[in-house]
Amino acid sequence: MSALIEFLDVCKTYQMGDTVVRAADHVSMRIDKGEFVAIVGQSGSGKSTCMNIIGCLDVPSSGVYLLGGRDVGKLDKNELSEIRNEMLGFIFQQYNLLPRLSLLENVEVPLMYAGMSRAQRRERAREALTMVGLGDKLQHKPSQLSGGQQQRVSIARALAGNPAVILADEPTGALDSRTGREVLKMLKDLHEAGNTVVLITHDNSIAMQAQRIIRLEDGCIVYDGDAHAPEAVVSPGLAGKAETV
Ligand SMILES: Nc1ncnc2c1ncn2[C@@H]1O[C@H](COP(=O)(O)OP(=O)(O)OP(=O)(O)O)[C@@H](O)[C@H]1O
Ligand SMILES: [Mg+2]
């Protein structure tokens, strides 16, 4: 197994007046190619902080983050956006689609930034939209779709560049439970097709759809292992007590 994502003693601190907030507190973990991992924790536990670091949107205050073996903390701004384009596909709670563009054009945007030719972009975008079941709506605008369909467009956009890692931050947060399940099923299918998927959520039942759970509390990893082990799911509010028992 080759490590795709590796955190070595990563800390992220924020200065708030006189106090220092440790949003990531000596986090070490490794995610290998082909895994489906959920990063879970209550509000303020450090999920977005870790997601931003994994996604090369931010760098650690100390410690090392290796993505595909490259030390992200040593990259300059241009190299960061390059590695982001090349290695990562993002899915957000808010789909972040551009309202004036067609679905096809929306999916093409990141491919354009990656420097792909127009013809190749078109082809890839069409394939990705077909894969998520929207092949018959290529020229539609996002506003002509349901929430679940819009999230599928954002999945197609994440996939189209064939990224090493698909990074999904609360992807079902804005969806009703049935549509949310469909989106989760799609992430599971992507994993089964060989993709590496990292899912960020505050919801245990969603996290349990992954193979492995990394649970954060106050910026620290308090569980890292099988998603189906009984210790993987600790009910909110009991988490702190369970630690001290
Ligand atoms: N830019 C910032 N400046 C100061 N403190 C911050 C900043 N960003 C995050 N924090 C703090 O770091 C901690 C972790 O925040 P983070 O956003 O990673 O939590 P989260 O698990 O994503 O929460 P949520 O589920 O609410 O999105 C919190 O205490 C938060 O207040
Ligand atoms: Mg967050």
List the single range of 18-22, 231-235, 238-242 with lowest mean pLDDT. 238-242
Task: Give the binding-site residues of ligand 1, using a 6 Å CB cut-off.
Answer: 14, 16, 21, 23, 41, 43-49, 202
Mean pLDDT for 123-152 is 94
Q: Is residue 96 part of a domain?
A: yes
Residue 172 corresponds to which tokens in the numbers above? Answer: 């079902």
Q: What's at 157, amino acid-wise?
A: R
List the single range of 31-35, 75-79, 175-179 with lowest mean pLDDT. 175-179
Render the burial of 7-23: b for 16+ CB within 10 Å, e for the rest: beebbbbeeeeeeeebb
- The protein residue with its alpha carbon nearest to ligand 1, atom 16, reads 46
Ligand closest to 218 (CA) is 1
Q: Is residue 83 part of a domain?
A: yes
Q: How confident is the model at residue 9 (pLDDT cuts 50, 70, 90)?
A: very high
201: Cα separation from own chain's centroid: 10
Q: Percentage of residues in the chain with pLDDT exceeding 70?
A: 95
pLDDT for the residue 95: 85
Alpha-carbon Rg of the chain, whole angstroms? Answer: 18
Per the structure, the count of domains in the chain is 1
Domain interval for residue 166? 5-239
Distance CA 91, CA 31 (A): 18
- The protein residue with its alpha carbon nearest to ligand 1, atom 11, reads 23
Helix, strand and coil percent figures for the chain, each rounded to 5? 40, 30, 35
Strand partners, 20: 15
* Res 111 pLDDT > 70: yes
CATH number, position 73: 3.40.50.300
pLDDT in tens, 91-108: 988 888 999 999 999 999
Which atom of ligand 1 has the smallest separation from the CA of 200? 22
Q: Is residue 50 part of a domain?
A: yes
Q: Is residue 165 part of a domain?
A: yes
Which atom of ligand 1 has the smallest separation from the CA of 202? 25
Q: Is residue 64 part of a domain?
A: yes
* Res 37 pLDDT > 50: yes
Phi and psi, residue 95, nearest 5°: -70, -20
Which atom of ligand 1 has the smallest separation from the CA of 50? 18
pLDDT for the residue 241: 47
- The protein residue with its alpha carbon nearest to ligand 1, atom 26, reads 43
Strands (E) located in the chain: 3-16, 19-32, 36-40, 62-67, 70-71, 88-91, 165-169, 196-201, 212-217, 220-226
Q: What is the mean pLDDT of the chain?
A: 91
List the single range of 126-140, 144-158, 205-219, 227-241 with lowest mean pLDDT. 227-241
* Res 243 pLDDT > 50: no
What's the 132 CA to ligand 1 centre distance in angstroms?
32
Q: Is residue 244 part of a domain?
A: no
What's the 196 CA to ligand 2 centre distance in angstroms?
21
